[in-house]
Amino acid sequence: MDQELSASEWKEKLDDETYRVLREHGTERPFSSSYCEPKSEGSFSCKGCGAELFDAAAQFDAGCGWPSFDAAKEPDRIKEILDRSHGMVRVEVRCASCDGHLGHLFPDGPTPSGHRYCINGVCLNHQR
């Protein structure tokens, strides 16, 4: 399983920015991802391990600067962890397969789920 890779193995596998976000819990600059614009078809997978995380049909334009989704492809594909860093209380979203940091979950989504998975695009691959 990919989560058992050492830091040096992750650094070899990922580019610098993806490593910083996915493995060191960083955040990419807002509006820097080409995935901010919703895709009409396909799915999004974890750049760290390839696990399918979100369907394109679940994506919406939240205007927040990061790709946003109202639901995970399957609930067991992601982990939600209470995050009290930076003087805030949020829910961190991680890949359940490789434990990579993806972003955060907010309760202000526009669909009936009420969810907005605010995900760093640098952590994702889009497949049609």
Residues carrying an active site annotation = 118
SS3 track for the chain: CHHHCCHHHHHHHCCHHHHHHHCCCCCCCCCCCHHHCCCCCCEEEECCCCCEEEEHHHEECCCCCCCEECCCCCHHHEEEEEECHHHCCEEEEEECCCCCEEEEEECCCCCCCCCEEEECHHHEEEEC
Q: Among 60, 46, 38, which residue's Cα sits nearest to residue 93? A: 46
Extract the tokens encoding 64: 């927040």
